[in-house]
Amino acid sequence: MGTQDVRKGDGMPAEKKLVVVALGGNAILQPGQRGTFEEQMKNVHLTCDQLAQMVESGKYKIVVTHGNGPQVGNILLQNEVGKDVAAPMPLYVCGAESQGLIGYMIQQSLTNLFADKGRGDIPVATVVTQVVVDAKDDAFVHPTKPVGPFYSAEEAKRLHDEKGYDVKEDAGRGWRRVVASPDPVEIFEKEIIRQLVAARSIVIASGGGGIPVVRENGHLRGVDAVIDKDLAGERLAADVGASIFMILTDVSQVKLNYKTPQEKSLDRMTVAEARKYHAEGHFAKGSMEPKVRAAIRFIESGGERAIITSLDKATAALDGKAGTTITKE
């Protein structure tokens, strides 16, 4: 596997560890914010300040991935509201748009931060990333992930009949389209990402879990689906041969018996322990569960350690002084 080559060298200083950092929703938009460009840029700037510190420590090289929930939600809404004046785009194209939007903000923030520190020589690039999924993935049989605006019952029925959308009533709030959340199989652009990393670039890739595509007669085709960003981040980390996969979210540690009087924060877990806690149901579906699953996969595919923590604890967690670390033993 090519991943070993990247770990060992390709002109990369051996002492610098490659970290894939997965940014959660709160790194770009805080709860309660409307999502104006200025708000997002401000959050991204604070986030990038943390990322720049990692790079400046001289100990790490980073590849960045990120969520896109609120951003793609707004793009879908804009498409819906403006559909009579401008042609709406498919969900997977909206995903591509969100990668450009968020990639631009991170790219510019990091570049400006480095310029201030006299490190204008560090290149930063966003790669519009396609993630291959299996057209036969079970997730396509029973779509579960709600996307886009709420509809009335009649509108939902029309979308189902005319466009073949799967629609579901969402807890009394109205009807929404639901799409599949298939497992990521392969980061299609992995080779170019590896080359950029080897050339000392900071790469932003696989945003929003990547643009879901299927292989068909030797070609790629976009599909309307949403890939979990933590699981796609793990694929990316394995594909670029990262030593560390770090998931930055809005809690500083993974907890057992979350939100109960018996709640307990975890400093470390072995893969075996993580599997046991996972089976016992400690991690909520759609939030902590995919993170722990991604961490387990990363270690099992040869990664050194996975870290789950909050943005403000990122550098401390890399030093082993904060967060939850998952290792083989």
Question: Among all residues, which ones are annotated catalytic?
Answer: 25-26, 145, 229, 291
* H-state helical runs in the chain: 3-8, 37-56, 69-81, 91-116, 153-163, 190-198, 229-239, 271-279, 288-300, 314-318
Nearest-angstrom CA–CA distance, 273 and 326 = 9
Which pairing describes strands 202-205 and 60-66: parallel, antiparallel, or unpaired? parallel
Binding segment for ligand ADP among 53-61, 107-115, 197-205, 283-291 (CB under 6 A)?
Answer: 283-291
Among 43, 109, 249, 309, interactor with ligand ADP by CB under 6 A: 249
Among 284, 300, 319, 320, interactor with ligand ADP by CB under 6 A: 284
Nearest-angstrom CA–CA distance, 312 and 196 = 27
Nearest-angstrom CA–CA distance, 210 and 226 = 8
Residues 56-95 close enough to bind ligand ADP by CB under 6 A: 67
CB of 209 to ligand ADP, least distance (A): 10
- Report the residue closest to ligand ADP, judged by CB: 24
Which residue is associated with the tokens 């194209």? 93
Binding segment for ligand ADP among 44-52, 156-164, 216-224, 248-256 (CB under 6 A)?
Answer: 248-256
Binding segment for ligand ADP among 12-20, 72-80, 103-111, 251-259 (CB under 6 A)?
Answer: 251-259
Nearest-angstrom CA–CA distance, 105 and 56 = 20
CB of 89 to ligand ADP, least distance (A): 24
Query: Based on CB atoms, which residue is closest to ligand ADP, 3 or 43?
Result: 43
The structure tokens listed for 293 are: 């699953």
Is 145 a binding residue for ligand ADP by CB under 6 A? The answer is: no
